[in-house]
Amino acid sequence: MTTTVRPVPQPLVGWPDHDAARYRAQGVRRAWARDALQVACWLSIAAPVALWLGEGGLAGAGSLAGVLKAAGIVSGLVATGSMVLMLWLTARVPWIDRTIGQDRATALHARLGQLTFGGPLSHALYLLAAYALADRLNAVAEFWSLWQFGDFALAVVALLLLATVAVSSVVAARRALPFEAWKAIHLATYAAVLTGLPHQFSMGDVFAAGPAQWYWLAVWALTLFAMLSFRVFRPLFNSLDHAVIVSAVEHETPDTVTITMTGRRLDDLDAAAGQYFHWRFLAPGLWWHQHPLSLSASPTGSTLRVTVRALGRGTAALLGVRPGTRVLFEGPYGIFSDAARTAPDVVLVGIGIGITPIRAVLEETRFAPGRATVILRASRPEELYLVREIEDLCRAKGARLYTLVGPRGRDAAGRERWVPAQYPGVHLWDLCPAVASSDVYVCGPDAAADLVVADAVAAGTPADKIHHERFAW
């Protein structure tokens, strides 16, 4: 085991009231922030349409062509608003990360993406129909007439790019496309946004003048600013400033390594145990991969530690990383940490390699002896990663520890269960009777983790107490 872990916290004697109150207040604050974020998201879609209405947008809607045109404009506005929102959700904005976690923001980004492609498409079709009707031309002739006009050709390119991205995302979701290929194609969305931009200001007269023009100029400028600051400059600056290098690599199992890294003034990162970073190890064959990996121990002022299992070709190369390797990183991200706590009781469920962030959260989060339950789930005993460390932490802090080892079982109805086959009737509430009022942390492969979450929901745990880290792209 590495010696870089912070000294184990002293066992708590009794439950200090201020911690219970702190967690409760933290939960309330985050609930408000979450709600505010949701309202802001909806407003960001509604505001452009309202601006258009405010400038007399409906005035032309007296004829069929006018109605079609209005529909085209509204779908264009909604699509643009939702694309801006998607950019913000993926911009690593600190406030969004603290509020819902970057992993959830990314998942929301992906879901919006599925809905969004319909927007530009219907925008194009409605407007083509509206203009064709107004000009008494067929669709092809109208398309040709628009083609000679302004930035129409660029807009068509944008639409084709978006179509490519949409198709590739669907294919990638089915795992038929390697992650790197998907990511490269995904970068085309930036090209689509850029090529789609000119026609918004030059062709329609919606953004051409007045408050709408100022609104959109401000929105695009702010979006660009956020993307550049939080996705480019901040990670770059942090990487250079903290000068992180690999200091130790230890095999946990033949296909799992714990990588310890050291750097300068890491306290400034304000990282919490259980958060994740995007890591880039600057070694031949490795530098072009970025790995989202969670901290597997509390960060210290000089060390960060991750534990990684070789699941794909990219992570397999990580097994060979050498001490001394420079590391670029983005992060920390996520609220799979003490920051998500809302209640005095806590249940930590780790499945497979998902055990490693659970170990980190266990180390850092606070609870009175007896108020925490740790459940580790693995197919084989050697996949109970870091189990010795976890045993020590449980003993020191007074947490109950269950290890469930064996192939995944099924229930009486033949549905998959997250518990191994040898414990057929066991549910989350059997292992932790207080689960309904506990913070439930779940980390592991999505399929199994979803089953744990379903168990927690069935036990009556409210959604805002279930903290589920997704292995999101």
Partner 1 sequence: MSTRANVASAIASIGVLFIGWQIGAQGGTAVAVPGGTASRTTTTGGTTTAPRTTTAPKTTTAPAAPGGAPGGRGGSGGVTVTLKVPAGASGTFTGQAATHRWGTVEVTVTLASGKITGLTEAVDDGGDNHSARINSQAVPVLKQKILAASGGGAVSTVSGATYTTQAYLTSLQSALDQAG
Q: How far is the CB of 92 from partner 1 (least distance, A)?
A: 23
Contact residues for partner 1 (CB under 8 A)? 31, 34-35, 38-39, 41-43, 45-47, 49-60, 62-63, 65-66, 69, 131, 134-135, 137, 142, 145-146, 148-149, 205-206, 208-212, 463-464
Q: Which is nearer to partner 1, 137 or 396 (CB)?
A: 137
Q: Which is nearer to partner 1, 413 or 463 (CB)?
A: 463
Q: Are 198 and 151 in contact (CB under 8 A)?
A: yes
- For the chain, the first-to-last Cα distance in angstroms comes to 30
Give which of 121, 118, 96 is closest to 108, Cα–Cα: 96
Q: How far is the CB of 102 from partner 1 (least distance, A)?
A: 18
Q: Which is nearer to partner 1, 31 or 454 (CB)?
A: 31
Q: How far is the CB of 194 from partner 1 (least distance, A)?
A: 22
Q: Are 200 and 216 in contact (CB under 8 A)?
A: yes
Q: Which is nearer to partner 1, 150 or 398 (CB)?
A: 150
Distance CA 27, CA 38 (A): 16
Helices 64-89, 17-54: inter-axial angle, 10-degree rounding: 150
Q: How far is the CB of 70 from partner 1 (least distance, A)?
A: 8
Burial 280-309 (b: 16+ CB within 10 A, else e): bbebeebeebbbbbbbbbbbbebbbbbbbb
Distance CA 330, CA 277 (A): 6
Q: How far is the CB of 36 from partner 1 (least distance, A)?
A: 8
Q: Which is nearer to partner 1, 59 or 447 (CB)?
A: 59
Q: How far is the CB of 213 from partner 1 (least distance, A)?
A: 8
Q: Which is nearer to partner 1, 191 or 457 (CB)?
A: 457
Cβ within 8 Å of residue 90, ≥6 positions away: 105, 106, 109, 231
- Alpha carbon 466 to its chain's center: 16
Q: Which is nearer to partner 1, 57 or 354 (CB)?
A: 57
Taking CA 149 as the corner, what is the angle to CA 148 and CA 151, rounded to the nearest 5 degrees? 115
Q: How far is the CB of 128 from partner 1 (least distance, A)?
A: 11
Q: Are 170 and 184 in contact (CB under 8 A)?
A: no
Q: Which is nearer to partner 1, 143 or 423 (CB)?
A: 143
Q: Which two tokens stand for residue 163?
A: 């179509």
Q: Which is nearer to partner 1, 9 or 150 (CB)?
A: 150
Q: Are 84 and 204 in contact (CB under 8 A)?
A: no
Q: How far is the CB of 46 from partner 1 (least distance, A)?
A: 4
Q: Are 344 and 17 in contact (CB under 8 A)?
A: no
Q: How far is the CB of 141 from partner 1 (least distance, A)?
A: 8
Q: Where are the alpha helices (DSSP H) in 55-89?
A: 64-89
